[in-house]
Amino acid sequence: MSARAEERGMLVLGLMSGTSADGIDVALARISGAPPRVKARLLNHTAVKFPAQVRAEILRVAEQRAITAGELSQLNFRLGQLFADAAKTACKCFRVTLSSVDLIGSHGQTIFHQGVPAKYLGVATASTLQIGEGAVIAARTGVTTVADFRPADMAVGGQGAPLVPYADYLLYRDAKLGRVSLNLGGIANVTVIPASAAREKVFAFDTGPANMLIDALVAHFTRGRKKFDEGARMAQAGRAIPGLLDELMRDPYLKKAPPKSTGREYYGAAYVKRVLALGRRFGAKPNDLIRCVTIFTALSVVDALNRFVTPKTKIDQLIVSGGGARNPLIMAQLGAALPRVEVLPSSRLGVPEEGKEAFAFALLAYETFHQRAGNVFSATGASGPAVLGKICYAGVR
């Protein structure tokens, strides 16, 4: 890259599909410089929904239901096509030409994540699998694509998650304020950035479920007519049941010390069945159970902060992103339970609530392209830094 182009920076698209598998979030960023002076500006973001049939298949596979090698291969390539199409659609929406984009970073779609080694064929093995073939994205867009970010961290002993802390550190580090970045997607995760912290002092982990359980209950009780509780209307029409909340807060995952990560493997269909059984035991009506699970999301975050964060560092601000940032009941619960902490949506600091994770993978792709480490190993538990992802070139020039 020429000196002039280096100064101009790179125009990078970030593509992200989370645990809820609602669709593909796309962020467009202008990025330049090198650590510790990386300059990154989010220019625009949008979301492209998955076709209903594709989403159903993603969720079926992610719930560890039977699939043949052939079906998995087909799904990997089909998702690659959809991620490429989402990039094209987003560029039209942003009114930029695809040919002006220098790089794409695609997280892909997680369908399995085993961050902690478990016995497999007699050997303790950790693994992760994100699909959405990067070579297909590169070929269909004509843009060099970085994909499959998590395995490189796991190869050096990390859990492969969370990876967003690198972006959180660049965006939110402050000389005077201790900050926690909370993302409420399908799963809730926090990045802890102490005041004036060096990168190695940042730590992060998944606190537990966020929208995943709420969405599952809404879909169950409405027989699929609704996918989420817009404005927390269903939850606010219900009543909290203290005994049921106590049972939810006994979840063993909440007590596990970081580094830790989780996903649909733990908080999927089997967990929802247990929650429904709890609801029957306590005589909860549908809206009651949705309210309890919504409050559980907030309380499990607060529990994680009190258990693992505040004993180590002072928190001045909790910066909330993800779809859950638009849930007024969650935000109210967080504010009430953390009276000494300013709770604010990420948009107040210039990053739209639903654009941050895609923005993060644009940043990670930029670092990979420059052969620099993108993991915060104090967050993932890795033995050291790792250059993340695999580069798929668009073609011979």
Residue pLDDT, tens place only, 167-224: 999 889 999 999 999 999 899 999 999 999 988 899 999 999 999 999 999 999 999 8
Question: Is pLDDT above 80 for 244?
Answer: yes
pLDDT-based confidence at residue 396 (cuts at 50, 70, 90): low
Helix (H) and strand (E) counts in the chain: 16, 12
> CA-to-CA distance for 29 and 18, rounded, in angstroms?
19
Average pLDDT (312-317) is: 95
C-alpha atoms less than 13 angstroms from C-alpha of 72 in its C-beta half-sphere: 14
Say what the pLDDT of residue 1 is. 47
Domains along the chain with CATH numbers? 3-159+354-392 (3.30.420.40), 165-349 (3.30.420.40)
In angstroms, what CA-CA distances link 282 with 68, 232, 239, 241, 270?
A: 40, 22, 12, 8, 19
For the segment 22-64, what is each residue's pLDDT rounded down to a tens digit? 899 999 999 999 987 899 999 999 999 999 999 999 999 988 8
Question: Is pLDDT above 80 for 4?
Answer: no
Say what the pLDDT of residue 22 is. 84
Question: Is pLDDT above 70 for 3?
Answer: no
> CA-to-CA distance for 82 and 103, rounded, in angstroms?
17
Asked whether the beta carbons of 385 and 166 are under 8 A apart, the reply is no
Say what the pLDDT of residue 63 is. 85
Structure tokens at 180: 């926690």
Question: Is pLDDT above 70 for 2?
Answer: no
- Beta-bridged to residue 130, according to DSSP, are 110
> CA-to-CA distance for 88 and 229, rounded, in angstroms?
30
Please report, rounded to a whole number, the percentage of residues in the chain having pLDDT higher than 90: 81
Say what the pLDDT of residue 27 is. 96
Asked whether the beta carbons of 115 and 261 are under 8 A apart, the reply is yes
